[in-house]
Amino acid sequence: MKLSSFISIILLQVAACGSGGNNESTQLMDFQETTDVPVTAQSAPTYAKSNDEPVIIKKLIKTGSIDFQSENVEEDYQKISAMLPKFGAYYESENQNKSTQRINYNLTIRVPWDKYDTLLSSISNIAFRLENKHSNSEDVTERYYDLKTRIKNKKALEARYLELLNKAQSIKDILEIERNLNQVRTEIESLEGQFNYLSKQINFSTLHVSFYEELPYTYATVQRKGFGARILSALNNGWQGFLSFLVGITMLWPFIFIAIAGVYTFRWIRRNRKKNTQIK
């Protein structure tokens, strides 16, 4: 078989591999985090006695949230911060908001999957009044192993192209193989980026913690000015009003000029009419 014919067969395999996984790669971009948990307990893969195939370990996206009222937010924040090293957890983000009526903390915590439930329970115990507690798990096992299989197939295809490249003799064949090899390597890089992101998140869960403290209402005291200060303020306001009046009058000078000219014109016309009437 000629080398160009073998390359055509390889290209058909590339098209078949590429068309099968577009939907899954798009879905993987929406991942938040996962936890690597089997149906019963976390363990290394075991093999079935019948055909020696590995047992599929569940891959779960596990997230939770807790909202509560606190008697002292600063003390509770310090308590939560002291817990995190014990559970191997850390703050992914933290935010504090303060107003005249309340202080609020919003925390996002990343915690190993096997410590998630314990940390959630520990934080619940420090709450003064628990308002909301929620936990969710999403099974993404199929997506995970589909991505892993696609990477394996792409790497096998890359190895075939490398073999062809070593056997190629014509410049045309070399250029065609290198072009397809670069395309496969780009696809592998993209898939591995998604898989590495998923693998990095696999052992950690996300916990959103929000708590607040109600502050006592304080009345603002209004300090009244003394009599002398009020007199001075009134004089100043009057003077400022007078200056504003002068400024306004100055702005109206064209209309004042027209009005004066109109009055004199009216008087002149009236006087001339009287003279004409007397002459007649």
Query: Which of 17-31, 98-112, 224-238 shows the lowest mean pLDDT across its residues?
Result: 17-31
Which pLDDT band holds residue 221 (cuts at 50, 70, 90)? Answer: low
- Are 185 and 159 spatial neighbours (Cβ–Cβ below 8 Å)? no
The pTM for the full model equals 0.57
Cα–Cα dist 82/177, whole Å = 58
Q: CA end-to-end span of the chain, whole Å?
A: 135
Cα–Cα dist 122/102, whole Å = 24
**Mean pLDDT confidence for 74-103:** 95
The enclosing H or E element of 256 equals: helix 253-279
- Are 47 and 53 spatial neighbours (Cβ–Cβ below 8 Å)? yes
Domain boundaries, the chain: 3-47+54-214
Cα–Cα dist 59/35, whole Å = 6
- Are 207 and 83 spatial neighbours (Cβ–Cβ below 8 Å)? no
pLDDT at 63 over 80: yes
pLDDT digits (tens, 9 = 90+) for 91-150: 999 999 999 889 999 999 999 989 999 999 999 999 999 999 999 998 989 999 999 999
Q: How far is CA 127 from the centre of its chain?
A: 27
Phi, psi at 151, each rounded to 5°:
-65, -40
Q: What is the DSSP letter of 65?
A: E
Cα–Cα dist 190/187, whole Å = 5
